[in-house]
Amino acid sequence: MTIPHFKRILLKLSGEVLMGQQQFGIDPGTVDRVAGEIAAAKQAGHELCVVVGGGNIFRGLAGAAKGFDRTSADYMGMLATVMNAIAVQNALEKMGVETRVQSAIPMASVCEPYIRRRAIRHMEKGRIVIFAAGTGNPFFTTDTAAALRAAEMNCDALFKGTSVDGVYTADPKKVAGATRYESLGFDQVLADNLKVMDAAAVALCRENNIPIVVFNIRDEGNMARVMRGEGTATIVHTLTEN
C-alpha cells in the first residue's frame, strides 16, 4: 500500500534510537543523523512536531520493576525525555532549524511549558516543536503522549520511528516466520494485541482518526522515503467498509 502524503505530522522517536550502537545514553552522531532527516522533512514542506521517549536513559517501568515507587520512576523517565529533547533541539539548531522544546513538567530555565496555542503558533511560523516529559503524569507512556499531542496539534498522521520496518504478526526478532503488514485497522491492532503502541495510544488515534505509520528510523533516509509515500512501513488506520 502506498502511504498517503501528510502535511502536518507528529514524529514519535523512541529514546533507544538516540543511543546508536551504545548500550545506553545519547550518541551525538546518531542524534545529528536523525536531526538531519527531520530537517529534510521540514524542507520538503511538512509541518513537524516531535515527541521523544527516554528509554535510553531511564525507563519508568524498568525502574519500578527494580524496586522504585512507580510514580517516582515514571517522573524520572519524564525527566530523561527532557534531556533527549534538548539534545535533538541542539542538533537541529546547529543545522539552522528553528525549534522550541515544550515540557509537560514546567522547568522554565531550560524550556517552555507546554501551552497548546503557543505550540500551534510555533508550527505555523515554521518551527519544529519538541514535546518533552510525556503527558506530565505517571502511568502514561510517551506513546500515549504522542497520540495526545497529535490530536491536540490537529496532525494528519503520527509517524513512529522504531527499530523495525513496520508491524508484524509476531516479533520478527524472535519468530522467523513473522510477516509484515502493509496496512491494518485500529481494531485489529487492539484485538490481536499487536505491539504497535500501547492500547491507550492506539485507541486515542482511532477516536481522532489519526493514522499511525510505523517505520524503521535506523535505516538512513527511510523517513524521507516513507513521507514521500515510498519506502517500507506499515500504516494503521480506519478501514473503510466495501
What are the extents of the domains in the chain?
A: 8-237
pTM over 0.95: no
- The grid coordinates listed for 188 are 485489529
The CATH number assigned to the domain with range 8-237 reads 3.40.1160.10
User: CA 80, CA 25: separation in Å to the nearest integer?
Assistant: 10
Segments of the chain with pLDDT less than 70: 1-2, 241-242
Q: Are 178 and 168 in contact (CB under 8 A)?
A: yes
**Tens digits of residue pLDDT in 114-127:** 999 999 999 999 99
**Tens digits of residue pLDDT in 152-189:** 999 999 999 988 889 998 888 788 888 999 999 999 99
Q: What is the pLDDT of residue 1?
A: 52
The CB-side HSE value for 27 (13 A sphere, CA atoms) comes to: 15
Helix (H) / strand (E) element for 216: namely strand 212-216
User: What's the burial of 49, exposed, middle or buried (CB within 10 Å: 0-12/13-18/19+)?
Assistant: buried
